[in-house]
Amino acid sequence: MKSSTPDVSLVEDLLSIGIALSAEKDHNRLLERILAGARKITNADAGTLYLCEKDRLLFKIMHNKTMNTFKGGRGEPIDIPPVKMVKENVSAFVALTGKTVNIPDVYNAEDFDFSGPRNYDKITGYRTRSMLVVPMENHESQKIGVLQLINAVDVGTDEIIPFDPAHQRVIEALASQAAIALTNAKLINDIEQLFDSFVQTITTAIDARTPYNANHSRRVALLAGELARAISQSNEGAWQGVEFSQEELEQLVMAGWLHDIGKVATPLEVMNKATRLDSRLELVLQRLEYIYQTSATDWHRKRFTLLEGGRTQSLEELDQRCGREMGEIDEARALIIKANDPSTFIDDQLAGQLFAIASRTYLDTAGREQPFLSREELDALTVKKGTLTDKERGVMEDHVIITARMLEKIPFIRKYSRVPEFSAMHHEHLDGKGYPNGLAGDSIPLEARILALVDVYDALTAGDRPYKKAMPVEDALRILGFMVKDGKLDSGLYELFKTSRVWERVEQ
Ligand SMILES: [Fe+2]
Ligand SMILES: [Fe+2]
């Protein structure tokens, strides 16, 4: 048997496990390392790591070298019910009292109920003998779990021996380090989850400001993530050797969630503008109705005057003139309704007709001369494509500048450090004609190119627009193809997006 003073190699083992624990962020791997480290130091044949959850102990990792079992963590799942917090159970006792228990042979021990290990032995032919059970207590004296080691093996004879008291002290130190590492990992995980859910809540709320695409941020995040995964999986041409690490993937998804956060400041009348005049159409139609009714009244008044004066020979000329005038008002109304529809392309001829309508005047109720259409109404109606005037487009495009400004103020954790940069570039195009900075070619990183592509795809295929049906995938791909040909979107990304059918992965 070894001496009761920890030797140098034990201290070295403890130190190296301690360093490994503080570097490990993956919860399951961390648990595995703790148990493996404790077994290595004590040369224990088997061991179990439990974590406290409310009033019970959960089996997290179970190793048994002789039985060749490796359960929990990344191994096969554990189907054993949790341990109740009763003092008869040795692990629960240690969790409740914070005291270590070291038993040379559990078959001779009377303080605890060992029917569990005995049953296990009966079924499997194993012999549970020595046992060391240590509490895992963190820096705030919280008991977060229990480390149970079974059957210390003598290095020289391979015999099962009691656990060495020197080993016990080392394992107690390890358990305390492990508890702190687990607490830290949980805190980091909690903070990340809190941040993620906060981002998702905020961006979903911002998306909900417009009925047009209520799932946009979520879908852009998912599509971007799937396209990046497709890149990592692809060995074709330019994608050979390009791989996103888990952290890079998470960073891209986060940039997807946040890319349009600046829309919080975009006025609703601009963001939700469904037609060229939008809410102003009603006012314009009422004005035309007023002009029409005034003309009709005027016509009847003039007719009455002619009849009264017996000048019936002038009636026909009056009827023709007034009839023509009212017909023109009807035509103007029809033309405005047509031009208001965003699916109408405003060519030069149509724009000329709208100018002519705008240049006509009428007298308002106060007798002042007014144009049929105001300058702003004419500007809105003569927008060639879409619904936004240059000014409104500028306001709309500002969202990406606001996104950049907002995200710059967030002290992102290291793995998200480039989120502001990627998010702020989602409207940059490879030909340098995007916004806000007109970046071109290689100055746009791959992540921003991914966002640019999936952003357009989602805007085209969104099914929740009240005035626009979801565009079929084939049509959206054709439009993306045009944008690639125009040198706006990345052709390699587009091909991969198509061949790996990224949208289907998201729908699944
Ligand atoms: Fe955007
Ligand atoms: Fe977007």
* Statement to judge: residues 26 and 131 lie in one domain: yes
- Tokens, residue 191: 């903070």
CA of residue 199 to ligand 1 center, whole Å: 16
Give 71's strand partners: 62, 76
| In the predicted structure, residue 438 carries a pLDDT above the cut 90 | yes
* Statement to judge: residues 44 and 178 lie in one domain: yes
Domain boundary among 345, 361, 387: 387
Q: Can you give the residue range of the structural domain that contains 372?
A: 280-387
pLDDT at 232: 96
CA of residue 400 to ligand 1 center, whole Å: 6
CA of residue 233 to ligand 2 center, whole Å: 26
Of all residues in the chain, the percent with pLDDT exceeding 90 is: 76
Domain boundary among 345, 362, 387: 387
CA of residue 478 to ligand 2 center, whole Å: 19
Quick check: is 275 in a domain? no
User: What is the CATH number for 445?
Assistant: 1.10.3210.10
User: What is the CATH number for 52?
Assistant: 3.30.450.40
Q: Which ligand is nearest to the CA of 403?
A: 1
* Statement to judge: residues 101 and 14 lie in one domain: yes
| In the predicted structure, residue 417 carries a pLDDT above the cut 50 | yes
Q: Which ligand is nearest to the CA of 400?
A: 1
Question: 243-251: which pairs have CB atoms within 8 A and are 24 or more residues apart?
Answer: 247/415, 248/447, 249/225, 250/415, 250/416, 251/415, 251/416, 251/417, 251/418, 251/419, 251/422, 251/447
Quick check: is 62 in a domain? yes
- Domains: count for the chain: 3
Q: Which of 57-71, 201-215, 375-389, 416-430 has the lowest mean pLDDT?
A: 201-215
Domain boundary among 157, 187, 217: 187
Q: Which ligand is nearest to the CA of 262?
A: 1
* Statement to judge: residues 80 and 174 lie in one domain: yes
CA of residue 351 to ligand 1 center, whole Å: 30
Residue whose C-alpha is closest to residue 42's, from 94, 100, 85, 96: 100
CA of residue 483 to ligand 1 center, whole Å: 16
| pTM score of the predicted model | 0.76
Quick check: is 431 in a domain? yes
pLDDT, tens digit, 9 for 90 and up, residues 258-303: 999 999 999 998 988 889 999 999 999 999 999 999 999 999 999 9
Quick check: is 193 in a domain? no
* Statement to judge: residues 142 and 15 lie in one domain: yes
3-state secondary structure of 91: helix
* Statement to judge: residues 362 and 414 lie in one domain: no
Q: Which ligand is nearest to the CA of 219?
A: 2
Quick check: is 198 in a domain? no
CA of residue 281 to ligand 2 center, whole Å: 28
Taking the C-alpha atoms of residue 451 and residue 325, their distance in angstroms, rounded to an integer, is 54
Collect all residues with Cβ–Cβ distance below 8 Å to 348 and sequence separation of at least 6: none
CA of residue 147 to ligand 1 center, whole Å: 51
* Statement to judge: residues 69 and 98 lie in one domain: yes
* Statement to judge: residues 178 and 59 lie in one domain: yes
CA of residue 80 to ligand 1 center, whole Å: 50
CA of residue 428 to ligand 1 center, whole Å: 10
Which residues sit with Cβ closer than 5 angstroms to ligand 2, an ion? 260, 455
* Statement to judge: residues 125 and 30 lie in one domain: yes
